[in-house]
Amino acid sequence: MKLPRRKFLHLAAGAAALPAVSRVARAQAYPSRPVRIIVPFPAGQATDSIARLMGQSLSERLAQPFVIENRTGAGGNIGAESVVRSAPDGYTLLLIGVSNAMNATLYKKLNFNFIRDIAPVASIGGALYVMVINPSVPAKTVPEFIAYAKANPGKINMGSSGSGSVSHVFGERFKMMTGVNLVHVPYRGGYVADLLSGQVQVVFGTISSCIQYIRGGMLRALAVTTATRSDVLPDIPTLAEFVPGYEAIQWYGVGAPKDTPAEVIDKLNKEINAIAADPLIKARLAGLGVDPMSMTSAAFGKFIADETEKWGNVIAALNIKAE
């Protein structure tokens, strides 16, 4: 049977439009079942708390459960690889952070490439670290600390959460940029007790672990690691004020397996940005020491690439090894 030309063209146009229509329908339907958010660190840590806050809000907004699943080990790599191996359908997501960017260089034999295999979905926020010292150190400012460290090479202990941890790499960047010789002391548990007792003299620590001791006068904050001063510690200068170019933040976001449909990523990006802008959520994040940091998925992807290169250069130059 021969179709009239007009009817043929009409049918052809309709067929061509089907992929676009199906994409729109898929995006509108997503999510139609529970979504897993893989957290590659233990319950109770900041990463886990942020994931649960986001998961609860996404569940309320999208009318499907967003279930948090802690899958720990290998500095976060086990959880990341489980998401890489998951179906790219938007139903398995990964809570990502600066440790993922560092791990790309820190671990030489990963079974995946973080930049290639995880699609950036949305950033959530950034958290400052603070350079704190035991008051026994006779320094009130960063320049005084640098001068004291140079006068006493190898006599100041720098605690961290472990070799290759965020606190370690942040401290190593400081050492590299200032030329001071600090002795790294890695801890598997917390370092706070030894910092308070003076066993270690300096730490690049999370604001949540140090703030009460700073306010109580038991520790001395010299600087924050962010590019601008913090509302939490408004009188404490930034490291960049004394060490030009120094900036280091712990950041958090959401990733998905590569090839996850763009319309699903766009929908999640829009929802996560809206959640982070909500005053109640901003207050909850502030309680965790996190400032919202909203971006498009493309901008977040560039940010991740820049962070991976930045910290990769530090790790490679200093030959830092993971525990």
Q: How many CB atoms lie within 10 A of CB 197?
A: 10
Distance CA(67)–CA(54), nearest Å, equals: 10
Residue 285 CA to chain centroid, in angstroms? 13
Question: Does 16 map to a domain?
Answer: no
- State the virtual CA torsion across 185, 186, 187, 191 in degrees, nearest 10: 50
132 and 145 both lie in a single domain: yes
Domain co-membership, 228 together with 281:
no
Contact criterion met (CB below 8 Å) for 64 and 32: yes
Q: Is the pLDDT of residue 15 over 60?
A: no
| Average pLDDT estimate for 139-150 | 98
User: In this model, does residue 232 exceed pLDDT 90?
Assistant: no
Return the CATH number at 225.
Answer: 3.40.190.10
Q: Is 254 in the same domain as 114? A: yes
Torsion angle of C-alpha atoms 172, 174, 179, 181, degrees rounded to 10:
-50
Q: Which of 165, 209, 207, 172 is nearest to 190 (CA)?
A: 209
**pLDDT digit string, tens, across residues 258-308:** 999 999 999 999 999 999 999 999 999 988 889 999 999 999 999 999 999
| Distances, alpha carbon 219 to alpha carbons 134, 185, 215, in Å | 5, 18, 8
At 21, the pLDDT band (50, 70, 90 cuts) reads very low
pTM: 0.86
Is the pLDDT at 8 greater than 70, yes or no?
no
| Pair (225, 197) in one structural domain | yes
Q: What is the mean pLDDT of residues 203-221?
A: 93
- Decide if pLDDT at 147 tops 90: yes
The whole-chain average pLDDT of the chain stands at 91
Instruction: Kindly state whether residue 1 falls inside one of the protein's structural domains.
Output: no
Mark whether 144 and 55 lie in a shared domain: no
Task: State the Cα–Cα distance between residues 178 and 203, nearest whole angstrom.
Answer: 16
- Same domain? 291 vs 159: no
Residue 12 lies in a domain: no
According to DSSP, the residues that pair with 38 across neighbouring strands are: 69, 94
**Domain coverage including residue 261:** 33-126+250-318
pLDDT-derived band at 11 (thresholds 50, 70, 90) equals low
Contacts of 113 (CB under 8 A, 6+ apart): 104
Residue 128, pLDDT > 80, answer yes
Higher-scoring residue by pLDDT: 323, 278: 278
Q: What percent of the chain has pLDDT over 90?
A: 80
Q: What is the CATH number of the domain that holds 278?
A: 3.40.190.150
In tens, the pLDDT along 161-202 reads: 999 999 999 999 999 999 999 999 999 878 999 999 999 999
DSSP calls for 98-152: HHHHHHHHH-TT-SS-HHHHEEEEEEEEEEEEEEEE-TTS--SSHHHHHHHHHHS
Identify whether residues 122 and 254 lie together within a single domain. yes
Shared-domain flag, residues 133 and 180? yes
pLDDT of residue 20 exceeding 50: no
| Helix, strand, coil percent values for the chain (each to nearest 5) | 50, 20, 35
Return d(Cα 189, Cα 191) in angstroms, integer. 7
Calpha distance 271→94 (Å, rounded): 16
Total number of domains constituting the chain: 2
Q: At which of 190, 219, 241 does a domain end? A: 241
